[in-house]
Chain A
């Protein structure tokens, strides 16, 4: 064992501390600043001569020149094992509920706890025998965790094929006692525990191959699923000005999305929003599993007033946990809110390092960092041929709501779907405020391609007519154009807009979306006979009101059918010719 490597503080500039050392130092290793009783976690981010520049993951007030610094030799890592589900961590994977028990209302600097409870007993059932040959990340047994059989896997970082030497019989074990011994290709023997550690900035690659994402991920938001779908294993981003509803959209997605595990990374945003999630999720029941939503959720929470440097690590911590559950053949959705705060944390540090700034003072490596983060999403085929996926949805908070800024642009280059929120829509209370003329998706929707195209077309046409009417007035617009305008507005109001506070309307399952979209498609294709614009307007207002009631009827219930009959009758009245 080597002796503890140490250094001394030479400079302090906010959360950047420069350490003078006379040993060797590893880039990106974790170091601790010793301040009295406290040890403050930090990471080496640049080395110059005998000076190591470190970002400190804590408030640095009170630190002095010549304070001691201890280098750990480890990269920033997270613990992966049973007990993650339902947990709330900070950006460095400290369990927040446990911290609250220890320190009360406030977070205490320099206090780090084990992410998982080390002596908690788990029911382990082995599924390999001595002599079996295993690749990294292959299952050696399972423990039940909340709603899943949690796979216990060989360490992801092992090289080549290894052989099982010993495996314990079924029984109760804690995280500290080895459940197996394996010999790697070089003949070295490794114990396997129920949990393992993994450095957050390195993707887990213990799978056979990465596949093309194709299957739609149902979010139950009509506007997204029908027009701008997301695929399992895909990536999407939600940029939007403040107040346009990014967070509400992500909260709804985290509730209703049809995936196995949701990892929420609240990165540099309001604490209040996290509170809402963590207080309501234990009570909300997931219809798919009949268990509380919290049982499928992991929250990584580094809110805006928590130390800035840990913001950066929080998105990596989250994606590493997401990848871990993917390794069990599960579909995982990672929601990061907001990636702009993470980019800003990089900018702050870059400024203190006095690097040459790029656009809007963001560092030059911004794009590559963002790209490599989103690249960690994907649909993979594991060694046992089961499929697992990580889907990443990142909120972006562009300065001034301007999508031309560097973070949005860098993100748009690498994602598969773009849900752009617009101030105009949110001001007009049209929620979700995703702009249907601006957004795009490269993924396949479960809505019939022809019908979907008709939807896009009528929206574009309606918008064009509305623009034209602003110039030539309603009286200058032909009745035909005017009806197209009304059809587009109708489609927007009754289908694209969704009332997040109506228990039925807030989430529309796939079957209902297909059914209703088809019905609306028929209406959009219908030639109506109106004598005047006023009549047309009044007619569509009536139709809209009926549809709104219909939207809050449970699918295929008696009221649903009654309302539908009423709507069909109204349509018949005005149909000029055959559909």
Chain B
């Protein structure tokens, strides 16, 4: 039974209040205005007063408009019919395909029981040494790309998506520029990946509340595939827009802000999404890569800060390279002990030397005399930047490790690297 209510008693921001009875918390409703129809969700109930956030915004909503409650939470179609399709944030097709209504699933599924998870164990090879060697990406990992606006984060995202061996790619666009949306679509198409992709796109021009649904819809669909045994990669860009939408609604609802206007439950809200990344015991997996743009390159801003505490590391994109300091894959230890026995040695030593190189650079910038050790470091750092760090480099892991030994042998004597003798004997290249 669907009842229609017309008593809209308050409109404030994108939240409307209607008098209604028998409404369930977080139920979905439909608001019909003369500009069209929009979905809305219950976010607070106080006696007869029901507060709804309207996905397409409250502009044009009149106090006499009709609100119809569906009596259930937000649902989305799932299954193989979605492959190759493009939808908006509330699940309406943006391509010319039909509206889907099969296999409807709730978008806010309960959390996974931790004992039914397995320890991640499969490395996702990307051909990017800064990832494969230094911060390996692992299936079922949740990893943001921290970036300042203007960095090529979408390009990086697309490259990882195409090169990784997964069954299904789901792209959730949040406040995506139309050009970027076209870029993703074309790139996936060129590499023949569109037929195994699904896109949920909220563009920068769309109403801000709709943005809130994109991660939930993308992850609910991903979860349905993962339960069928599929390995799913979910790309979300850009999660900072999601947080800003949360902030907007929270302020409208007169919640006390905790930090720079963001609501106190920002951490829980983000965690509820990122924690969907999972490797199921005897089924598939979900890996999440999400762009988080950092306002003013400030990693202590509430959005990257809360994100960093939830995700399993982060790639820090700066000056078009993945910065070794600040980047981290927490799950790398699960896989990099099983690749080649020198993997961890190369990883640790090259980074420590690179840190010393940065110090030497600082010293030089301040006009100090360079010692012979400093000069060695400077030489090393330059080669490292060119042959390892550049995103242009596209080589498999083993080649990258060999390259690492070559670079070190070119610049240092074995004991200067501090590497254990047994390793040196096995791998240090003999110089003619």
Contacts and interface: CB of A to CB of B under 8 A. Distances in A.
Contacts of A63: 24-25
Contact of A107 (B21, B110, B299): B110
B227 A105 contact: yes
Q: Which are the 5 A-B pairs with shortest beta-carbon distances? A: A400-B300, A473-B368, A304-B271, A305-B275, A61-B26
A95 to B, nearest CB: 9
A105 B300 CA distance: 35
B344 interface: yes
Interface stretch (A341-349, A371-379, A414-422, A447-455): A341-349
A242 B270 CA distance: 15
Interface in A308-364: 308, 341, 344, 347-348, 351, 354, 357, 360-362
B111 A107 contact: yes
A249 to B, nearest CB: 13
Contacts of B299: 400
A548 B119 contact: no
A501 B337 contact: yes
A10 B47 contact: yes
A303 B24 contact: no
Interface in A373-401: 397, 399-401
Contact of A361 (B264, B305, B328): B264
A545 interface: yes
B300 to A, nearest CB: 3
A279 B119 contact: yes
A428 B352 CA distance: 6
B392 interface: no
A568 interface: no
A306 B309 CA distance: 16
Given A11-B46, A304-B310, A270 B256 contact: no
A471 B108 CA distance: 56
Task: Report, as a range, how many residues of chain A touch the other chain.
Answer: 35 or more
Interface string A460-487: 0000000000110111000000000000
Interface stretch (B30-38, B240-248, B412-420): B412-420
Interface in A48-80: 59-65
Contact of A399 (B140, B265, B305, B366): B305
A84 B310 CA distance: 29
Interface of B: 21-27, 44-48, 73, 108-120, 140, 227, 255-259, 263-265, 267-268, 271-272, 275-276, 278, 280-281, 283, 299-302, 305-306, 308-310, 312-314, 325-326, 328, 330-331, 333, 337, 344, 348, 351-352, 355, 362-363, 366, 368-369, 371-373, 415-416, 418-421
A541 interface: yes
Given A308-B265, A362-B258, A402-B300, 6 more contacts: A104-B113, A105-B116, A271-B278, A361-B256, A473-B368, A534-B372
A303 B300 CA distance: 23
A64 B415 contact: no
A354 B254 CA distance: 10
A544 interface: yes
A427 B325 contact: yes
B25 A12 contact: yes
Contacts of A548: 418, 420
Interface of A: 10-14, 59-65, 88, 96-97, 99-100, 103-109, 241-243, 268, 270-272, 274-276, 278-280, 301, 303-306, 308, 341, 344, 347-348, 351, 354, 357, 360-362, 397, 399-402, 427-429, 470-471, 473-475, 493, 501, 533-534, 537-538, 541-542, 544-545, 548-549, 552
A341 B306 CA distance: 11
A62 B24 contact: yes
A10 B280 CA distance: 40
A549 B369 contact: no
A271 B331 contact: no
A62 B73 contact: yes
A62 B27 contact: yes
A361 B325 contact: no
B112 A271 contact: yes
8 contacts: A268-B271, A344-B264, A361-B264, A399-B305, A429-B352, A473-B369, A537-B371, A548-B420
A97 B115 contact: yes
A180 to B, nearest CB: 35
A61 B28 CA distance: 11
A279 B334 CA distance: 13
Most B-side CB within 10 Å, residue of A268, A276, A360, A399: A399
A106 B110 CA distance: 6
A470 B366 contact: yes
Contacts of A545: 415, 418-421
B110 A272 contact: no
B275 A271 contact: yes
A242 B308 contact: yes
Given A62-B25, A105-B280, A474 B351 contact: no
B73 A272 contact: no
Nearest to B367: A473
Contact of B373 (A348, A534, A552): A534
Contacts of A106: 109-113
The residue among B116, B120, B278 with the most chain A CB atoms within 10 A of its own CB is: B116
Nearest to A102: B113
B416 A541 contact: yes
Contacts of A276: 119
Contacts of B366: 470-471, 473
Given A12-B44, A428-B355, A303 B275 contact: yes
Contact of B271 (A65, A274, A305): A305
Given A304-B268, A360-B259, A100 B113 contact: yes
Contacts of B314: 243
Nearest to A549: B420
Nearest to B258: A361
Contacts of A534: 371-373
Contacts of B264: 344, 347-348, 351, 361
Nearest to A108: B110
Contacts of A303: 111, 114, 275
B275 A100 contact: no
A432 B149 CA distance: 33
B45 A65 contact: yes
Given A105-B112, A473-B369, A501-B344, A64 B24 contact: yes
Contacts of A242: 305, 308-309
A62 B23 CA distance: 8
A534 B118 CA distance: 51
A244 B95 CA distance: 45
A501 to B, nearest CB: 7
A125 to B, nearest CB: 33
A276 B351 CA distance: 26
A275 B355 contact: no
B166 to A, nearest CB: 19
B332 to A, nearest CB: 11
Contact of B25 (A61, A305, A348, A549): A61
B371 A474 contact: yes
Given A272-B312, A401-B300, A534-B373, A344 B268 contact: yes
Given A62-B27, A305-B111, A271 B352 contact: no
A64 B114 contact: no
Contacts of B302: 399-400
Contacts of A59: 108, 110
A278 B113 CA distance: 12
Nearest to B26: A61
A347 B256 CA distance: 10
Contacts of B263: 351
Q: Which of A97, A272, A304 has the most CB of B within 10 A?
A: A272
B249 to A, nearest CB: 12
A234 B337 CA distance: 36
Given A279-B119, A304-B271, A344-B267, A61 B257 contact: no
B258 A60 contact: no
B242 to A, nearest CB: 16
B418 A541 contact: yes
Contact of A99 (B113, B272, B312, B418): B113
